[in-house]
């Protein structure tokens, strides 16, 4: 009887609520913390009367819309994602390029598209599209993944386009796998250097998890860093990068008055004020002195009000999300689905720890938001898409419906080849 009851319970769970339910719990906890944290952060000094209430109502609407987006993504089969990956990437890349031809919206930055009802940051969507396309390119080469070469095997450039082996490496392995990441970094780098570094790191981790040899990943890392630095200084972003690194390195040499003028130091003061149990809800002192307490420094405000106990809960939630996705990756028989799940989790968790690193003074300022917890529609919507994709993969794995998409040779024409490659 116990075996029969367990079998019935398992069947009901697969039928009524398939997928990783722990991820749903994690997201609900994030939503609750976000609602409390943002509500407190916007109540800073200097806000116009009624402004805080409007921002809180807007955030509630953002959370509801995010939940709807997550549910929609939950029901999209992985095979559909695979077929639409290339088109999704191209459209996202073009959308990210468009703001460079429009007047800047804030602080001279060309990151947003004004959609009328809200300003959208297409580069966040492009990061998701890059993960999807990289997962597709790696899964298409899963049978040779251990022997893949991501750089030419000879330093003689004359042989790169004359010998069949070198041409095969360049045009069948290096370019298909690395081009999406390179194009993404190039279009993001001029206006958001930290975001370009972020997606580059996530891509390297995906290469490692897919089974690409560590020596190949190391070569890609060294060459990419050298080329990246060249591009940064060529396009005039070098001064900004050097300035942030100097502020980070020389922070201890500044006077107390000079430190108080910097948000990074104010953030550390907020965390110090919070102590173990915090000052209490709505009692943050530093929220009125931080430039963007509801977004760039939401972690510091939460720690000041609720203490290190809640901060550790937040850190563990992101870690839990990653390990749940890693479990899905291990169970998934189709490499594309597994890489897609773990890639989305890496995108969220790595950004979260970058934010925490900046707030605590471990890392220099990056401007990365805290996924699910900061106010901002673009970040919240894209994080919801990422988790929705993970839930979709887990649903199909649990139901046993994760079937690799196959290229139909009967439809071997230019259109279908374009979608598939």
Q: Is the pLDDT of residue 115 over 80?
A: no
Structure tokens at 96: 């990210």
The reply to whether 62 falls in a domain is yes
| CA 126 centroid distance within chain | 10
Domain membership of residue 348 (yes or no) is: yes
Can you tell me the distance from the alpha carbon of 26 to that of 228, in angstroms, rounded to the nearest whole number? 36
Q: How far apart are CA 328 and CA 245, in angstroms?
A: 38
> Which range has the top average pLDDT, 20-29, 124-133, 329-338?
124-133
On the question of pLDDT at 122 being above 70, the answer is yes
Rg (C-alpha) for the chain, rounded Å, is 23
pLDDT at 126: 94
Q: How many CA atoms, within 13 angstroms, populate the side-chain half-sphere of residue 8?
A: 5
**In whole angstroms, what is the distance from residue 287 CA to residue 285 CA?**
6
The residue written with tokens 């597709």 in the block is: 136
In the block, which residue shows the tokens 């300003």?
119
User: Domain span at residue 365?
Assistant: 2-75+244-420
Mean pLDDT rounded to a whole number for the chain: 81
User: Residue 222 domain-assigned?
Assistant: no
Least confident of 278-292, 304-318, 346-360: 278-292
Tell me the pLDDT band of 12, cut-offs 50, 70 and 90: very low
The answer to whether residue 170 sits within a structural domain is no
Q: Are 38 and 298 in contact (CB under 8 A)?
A: yes
Tell me the β-bridge partners of 59: none
Average pLDDT estimate for 230-238: 77
298 part of a folded domain: yes
In a domain, 215, yes or no: no
Any domain includes 84: no
73 has a pLDDT exceeding 60 = yes
Token pair of 76, please?
Answer: 């999209």
Structural domain includes residue 167: no
- The number of folded domains in the chain is 1
CB proximity list for 105: less than 8 A, separation 6 or greater: 99, 111, 112, 114, 119
Q: d(Cα 129, Cα 116) in Å, to the nearest integer?
A: 24
Q: Give yes or no for residue 147 having a pLDDT over 70.
A: yes
Report the pLDDT averaged over residues 185-204: 89
Distance CA 366, CA 356 (A): 11
């Amino acid at each position: 009887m116990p075996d029969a009851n367990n079998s019935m319970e398992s069947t009901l769970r697969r039928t009524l609520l398939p997928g990783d339910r722990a991820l749903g719990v994690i997201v609900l906890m994030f939503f609750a913390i976000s609602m409390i944290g943002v509500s407190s952060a916007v109540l800073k000094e200097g806000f116009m009367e009624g402004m805080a209430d409007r921002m809180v109502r807007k955030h509630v609407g953002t959370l509801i819309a995010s939940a709807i987006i997550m549910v929609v993504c939950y029901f999209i089969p992985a095979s559909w994602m695979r077929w639409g990956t290339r088109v999704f990437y191209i459209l996202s890349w073009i959308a990210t390029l468009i703001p460079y031809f429009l007047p800047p919206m804030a602080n001279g930055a060309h990151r947003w598209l004004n959609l009328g009802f809200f300003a959208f940051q297409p580069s966040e969507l492009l990061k998701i599209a890059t993960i999807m396309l990289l997962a597709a390119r790696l899964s298409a080469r899963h049978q040779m993944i251990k022997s893949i070469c991501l750089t030419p095997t000879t330093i003689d450039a004359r042989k790169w386009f004359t010998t069949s082996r070198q041409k095969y490496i360049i045009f069948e392995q290096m370019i298909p796998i690395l081009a999406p990441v390179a194009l993404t970094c190039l279009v993001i780098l001029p206006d958001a250097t930290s975001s370009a570094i972020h997606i580059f790191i996530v891509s390297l981790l995906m290469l490692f998890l897919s089974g690409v040899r560590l020596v190949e990943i190391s070569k890609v890392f060294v060459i990419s860093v050298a080329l990246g630095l060249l591009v940064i200084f060529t396009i005039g972003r070098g001064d900004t990068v050097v300035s942030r690194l100097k502020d980070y390195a020389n922070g201890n040499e500044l006077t107390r008055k000079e430190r108080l003028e910097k948000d990074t130091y104010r953030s550390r003061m907020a965390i110090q004020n919070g102590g173990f149990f915090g000052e209490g809800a709505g009692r943050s002192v530093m929220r009125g002195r931080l430039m963007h307490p509801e977004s760039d420094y939401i972690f510091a405000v939460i720690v000041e009000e609720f203490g290190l106990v809640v901060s550790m809960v937040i850190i563990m939630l992101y870690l839990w999300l990653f390990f749940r996705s890693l479990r899905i990756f291990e169970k998934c028989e189709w490499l594309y689905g597994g890489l897609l799940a773990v890639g989305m989790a890496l995108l969220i968790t790595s950004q979260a720890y970058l934010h925490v690193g900046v707030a605590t003074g471990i890392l220099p300022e990056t401007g990365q938001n805290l996924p699910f917890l900061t106010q901002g529609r673009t970040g919240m919507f894209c994080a919801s898409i990422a988790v929705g994709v993970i839930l979709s993969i887990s649903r199909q794995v649990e139901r046993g419906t994760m079937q690799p998409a196959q290229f139909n040779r009967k439809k071997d024409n230019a259109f279908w080849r374009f979608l598939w490659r």
